């Protein structure tokens, strides 16, 4: 069992379980007893904690990171040490790492989803860089994806220490070396642009489903970051828009001067692309990557992974130029051998000319036959059913789906919201396939783009804000928080926003309705009431408040029992109630005068039910009478109401807990009797009852 499980740090944080391990620290789930919330605690490994200089830097770095406050950065609550234990207290995230998310998907992410994630990552980096903090270890393992689709970047500060402690690229560094910048791999001075390079690698992996450089050892991967050029993402996934490929490659430029100068600069391009995915940034390969033959060191082509040079050509596309340079590199390896081989093939060709000619003629004849079959006969067996695509532009999405030409045949799928100066908000701007086209059975889905009017905005970040502040923020953007829901949360403080629909970063239009989900605090847990009658009041309160987390209300009453003895509890033992429920205890004041028999808890569980003396048959002349006791209007639901009849025929005392309105009691007696009424031990008046009527 782990040595820290069950321990209490600083008499405040109770360690519950291990939730993660790393090269420098172990992460535990813990409970903060002071604020009654769950947190994550990262404790330094013992061997590192023994280094005094490392502990000092760990403390200073963590203190600096604790000053960061951003929705996309994991919050640091506390930095402390307990005996020889160095630890950081952080918010507990309900989610998985981006690496786990990609592995779960098992394929490249949709480029829109990748755009959503990288935008939030860059916002986190922008905030940190503006405060002089460089992460140094951006990778999917350090990025948490929450249930609402938002992300949080973790391990700021730890990364700086990790890079200082890791002097060589060992197997332990393999997880990070795939994402390090060339200057990090060389051991050169780094700045915020190193984080941008690593973020570019993360974007590359999200878009393509693979890493740009791979190798058997960390050193071989690091060398590729320095000398090699990654295969353009669209070579691996043609669905990626060219502009997003340009952003990725610019972020990954090996020369820091060719890279984005800041996270804000990259965010600006991401925002321009989001607004117009067909935009052309005009980043040419020669702007981003060294030209083979011109740089001091030649570009290495990694044959093992079928890498292609991403080099420019004056009239060719980047991919054609890359293939041409690769062929040229292969040809130039040994030109004399190539020429000798060519002469050998030429010398051997004469003897084979006739058979080759005959074979060529046969292939030509067969090809002509196949072509004629395809043109004249294959359509005989093909389906000739076609449909005319209806025009739905100018309609709303609902109108299009209810159009008679659509119902029962075509399916309308909502595409994107786009800006339009001519089409009103909510109407369809364009459709694919276009109207009036003839399509077969595979063309019955129509994708439509909806007008967002002349202005669109990005859903602002309000997660983690106090809900009233969040509502004001949404209204500032012209959005309408028309619905709010409360949801229990162990990690989000009560009355703070858990998530919104649509989520942060989504394209929205002023006037859109927004669902805001607000934390109601930790989930209320049921507890089973314990018996405390017969205990002293201090012991009873400790049991109920500390063990069961109930609220205790104490009232005193006249009694010949010892002072402070609990005579009555308003909730019967064994009853299941929610934490925080109020339980009333009647306690003896030790006055020496008895107010009658001690009420039992069961008598209060149903205030409207009848109560009888323990043995009403002791006097056969007794008659029962139902009495309604009128109570003051300023009373509370938890008040204890007691009636007492003291006469020559019978002495009885009954209690009940008032819920609402007045209280009914069944009492026994003869003739005319006066009933005394008490609320929480205080006398409030009498009720006269005539048992003979």
Q: What is the pLDDT of residues 610-637, one digit of tens each?
A: 333 444 434 556 677 777 777 766 666 5
What length is written for the chain? 693
Distance between CA 283 and CA 200 in Å, rounded? 15
Distance between CA 670 and CA 623 in Å, rounded? 6
What pLDDT score does 452 carry? 77
Q: Is the pLDDT of residue 114 over 90?
A: yes
What pLDDT score does 326 carry? 41
Q: Are 662 and 629 in contact (CB under 8 A)?
A: yes
Distance between CA 260 and CA 361 in Å, rounded? 58
Of residues 511 and 528, more confidently modeled = 528
Residue linked to tokens 């340009």: 246
For 463-472, what is the mean pLDDT? 89
pLDDT, tens digit, for every residue of 255-314?
Answer: 999 999 999 999 999 999 999 998 988 776 666 776 544 444 433 333 333 333 343 333
For 670, residues 6+ apart whose C-beta sits below 8 A from its C-beta are 619, 621, 622, 623, 649, 691, 692
Indicate the average pLDDT of the chain: 76
Q: Is the pLDDT of residue 7 over 50?
A: yes
For 241-256, what is the mean pLDDT? 94
pLDDT, tens digit, for every residue of 143-179?
Answer: 999 987 889 998 875 545 444 444 333 333 444 789 9
For 661-670, what is the mean pLDDT? 71
β-pairing verdict for 13-21 and 566-569:
unpaired
Of residues 518 and 346, more confidently modeled = 518
What pLDDT score does 306 carry? 35
Distance between CA 161 and CA 79 in Å, rounded? 15
Distance between CA 431 and CA 391 in Å, rounded? 8
Task: Give residue 677's pLDDT band: very low, low, confident or very high (50, 70, 90).
Answer: confident
What pLDDT score does 526 carry? 86
Q: Across the strands, what pairs with 29?
A: 17, 40
What pLDDT score does 599 carry? 47
For 139, residues 6+ apart whose C-beta sits below 8 A from its C-beta are 99, 175, 176, 178, 179, 198, 201, 202
Task: Give residue 691's pLDDT band: very low, low, confident or very high (50, 70, 90).
Answer: confident
Task: Give residue 366's pLDDT band: very low, low, confident or very high (50, 70, 90).
Answer: low
List residues forming the annotated binding site for ATP: 42
Task: Give residue 1's pLDDT band: very low, low, confident or very high (50, 70, 90).
Answer: low
Q: Is the pLDDT of residue 469 over 70?
A: yes
Region of residue 219 (left: phi > 0; alpha: psi -120 to 50; beta: else): alpha
Residues labelled catalytic: 137
For 465-477, what is the mean pLDDT? 87
Write down the pTM of the prediction.
Answer: 0.45
Q: Are 264 and 125 in contact (CB under 8 A)?
A: no
- Identify the CA nearest to 625 among candidates 688, 690, 544: 690
- Identify the CA nearest to 162 among candidates 78, 302, 54: 54
Of residues 200 and 371, more confidently modeled = 200
- Identify the CA nearest to 458 among candidates 415, 508, 421, 502: 508
Q: Percent of the chain beyond pLDDT 90?
A: 21
What pLDDT score does 360 carry? 62
Distance between CA 536 and CA 559 in Å, rounded? 14
pLDDT, tens digit, for every residue of 313-348?
Answer: 333 434 434 334 443 344 444 444 434 443 444 444
Domains in the chain: ranges and CATH: 8-91 (3.30.200.20), 95-323 (1.10.510.10), 387-451 (3.30.10.20), 457-519 (3.30.10.20), 526-690 (3.30.10.20)
What pLDDT score does 323 carry? 39
Phi, psi angles (nearest 5°) of residue 12: -140, -45
List residues forming the annotated binding site: 42
Distance between CA 262 and CA 670 in Å, rounded? 93
């Amino acid at each position: 069992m782990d040595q820290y499980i069950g321990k209490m740090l600083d008499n405040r944080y109770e360690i519950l379980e291990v939730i993660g391990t790393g090269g420098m620290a172990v992460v535990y789930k813990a409970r903060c007893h002071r604020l009654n919330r769950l947190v994550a605690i990262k404790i330094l490994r013992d061997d590192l904690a023994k280094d005094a200089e490392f502990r000092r830097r760990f403390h200073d770095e963590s203190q600096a990171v604790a000053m960061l406050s951003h929705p996309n950065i994991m919050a640091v609550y506390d930095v402390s040490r307990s005996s020889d234990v160095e630890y950081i207290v952080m918010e507990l995230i309900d989610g998985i790492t981006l690496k786990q998310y990609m592995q779960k998907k098992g394929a490249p992410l949709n480029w829109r989803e990748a755009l959503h994630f990288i935008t939030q990552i860059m916002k986190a980096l922008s905030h940190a860089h503006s405060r002089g903090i460089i992460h140094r270890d951006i990778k999917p393992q350090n990025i948490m994806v929450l249930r609402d689709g938002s992300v949080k970047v973790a391990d700021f500060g730890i990364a700086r220490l990790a890079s200082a402690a890791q002097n060589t690229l060992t197997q332990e560094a393999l997880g990070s070396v795939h994402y390090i910048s060339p200057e990090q791999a060389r051991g050169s001075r780094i700045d915020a642009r190193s984080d941008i390079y690593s973020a570019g690698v993360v974007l590359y992996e999200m878009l393509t489903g693979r890493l740009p450089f791979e190798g058997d050892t960390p050193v071989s991967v690091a060398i590729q970051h320095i000398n090699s050029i990654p295969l353009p993402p669209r070579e691996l996934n043609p669905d990626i828009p060219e502009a997003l490929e340009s952003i990725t490659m610019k972020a990954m430029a090996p020369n820091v001067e060719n890279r984005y100068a800041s996270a804000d600069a990259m965010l600006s391009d991401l925002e321009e692309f989001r607004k117009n995915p067909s935009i052309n940034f005009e980043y040419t390969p020669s702007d981003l990557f060294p030209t083979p033959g011109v740089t001091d060191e030649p570009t290495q082509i990694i044959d093992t992974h079928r890498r292609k040079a991403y080099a420019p050509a004056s009239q060719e596309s980047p991919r054609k130029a890359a293939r041409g340079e690769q062929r040229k590199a292969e040809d130039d390896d040994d030109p004399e051998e190539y020429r000798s081989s060519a002469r050998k093939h030429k010398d051997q060709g004469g003897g084979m000319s006739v058979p080759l000619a005959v074979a060529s003629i046969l292939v030509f004849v067969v090809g002509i036959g196949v072509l004629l079959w395809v043109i004249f006969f294959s359509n005989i067996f093909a389906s000739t059913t076609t449909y005319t695509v209806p025009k739905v532009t100018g309609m709303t999405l609902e109108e299009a789906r209810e159009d008679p030409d659509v119902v029962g045949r075509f399916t309308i799928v909502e595409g994107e919201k786009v800006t339009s100066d001519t089409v009103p908000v909510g109407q369809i701007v364009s459709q694919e396939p276009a109207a009036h086209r003839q399509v077969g059975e595979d063309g019955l889905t129509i994708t439509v783009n909806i007008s967002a009017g002349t202005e669109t905005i990005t859903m602002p970040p309000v997660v983690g804000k106090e809900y009233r502040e969040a509502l004001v923020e949404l209204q500032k953007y012209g959005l309408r928080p028309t619905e709010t829901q409360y949801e229990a949360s162990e990690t989000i403080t009560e009355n703070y926003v858990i998530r919104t629909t649509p989520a942060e970063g989504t394209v929205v239009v002023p006037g859109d309705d927004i669902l805001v989900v607000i934390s109601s605090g930790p989930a209320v847990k049921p507890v089973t009431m314990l018996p405390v009658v017969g205990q002293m009041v201090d012991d009873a309160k400790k049991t109920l408040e500390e063990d069961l987390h109930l609220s205790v209300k104490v009232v005193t009453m006249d009694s010949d029992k010892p002072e402070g003895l609990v005579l009555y509890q308003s909730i019967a033992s064994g009853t299941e109630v929610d934490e925080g429920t109020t339980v009333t205890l009647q306690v003896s004041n030790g006055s020496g005068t008895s107010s009658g028999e001690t009420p039992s808890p069961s008598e209060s569980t149903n205030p409207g039910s009848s109560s009888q003396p323990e043995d009403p048959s002791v006097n056969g002349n007794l008659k029962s009478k139902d009495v309604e006791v009128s109570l003051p209007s300023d009373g509370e639901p938890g008040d204890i109401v007691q009636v007492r009849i003291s006469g020559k025929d019978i002495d009885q005392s009954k209690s009940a807990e008032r819920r609402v309105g007045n209280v009914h009691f069944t009492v026994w007696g003869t003739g005319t009797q006066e009933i005394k009424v008490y609320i929480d031990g205080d006398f409030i008046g009498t009720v006269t009852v005539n048992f003979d009527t």
